[in-house]
Amino acid sequence: MADGEGGRVIPMIGTVKVSGSDSSGSFELIEYVGPAVPPPHIHRQREEAFYVLEGMFRFILGAVEFEAGPGSLVHVPRGTRHGFTTGPSARALLFVAPAGLEGFFEELGEGLAAGRSGAELRAALSGRFDSEPA
């Protein structure tokens, strides 16, 4: 586990429970608590899966929008346009495979916590991580 029993906190995002270095690059596991939410985007080299623990999420997956509550599992195949918004107290486990988005989340969360806009940060991060606007 990353940085002790509870994991390493990323402001505005959540807690890294298993980092890429913990899994030899095979996956990352982040407990998402927000409040940052992503606009629609695509990962070309990574799969994601969200397991909703609490609250409601509203996902965009391809051209489909739907709600997912506790116990729902949403798989995002690589190359699929996706994004989400959340209701109050929403929480989910986010699996990323292979690992490689943790740095994106760190820079985004720290920038948001410092008062920078999400659009500004995403523009600065564009091309550095496997995440492109869609």
Domain with residue 61: its CATH number is: 2.60.120.10
User: Considering the domain boundaries, does residue 102 fall inside one?
Assistant: yes
Q: Quick one: pLDDT at residue 18?
A: 96
User: Considering the domain boundaries, does residue 1 fall inside one?
Assistant: no
User: Considering the domain boundaries, does residue 2 fall inside one?
Assistant: no
User: Considering the domain boundaries, does residue 111 fall inside one?
Assistant: yes
Long-range contacts, stretch 24-28, CB < 8 angstroms, 24+ apart? 25/98, 25/99, 25/100, 26/97, 26/98, 26/99, 27/95, 27/96, 27/97, 27/98, 27/99, 28/94, 28/95, 28/96, 28/97, 28/99, 28/100, 28/101, 28/102
User: Considering the domain boundaries, does residue 64 fall inside one?
Assistant: yes
pLDDT tens for 60-103 read 999 999 999 999 999 999 999 999 999 999 999 999 999 999 99
Q: How many domains does the chain have?
A: 1
> What pTM was estimated for this model as a whole?
0.90
Q: Which domain holds residue 109?
A: 8-133
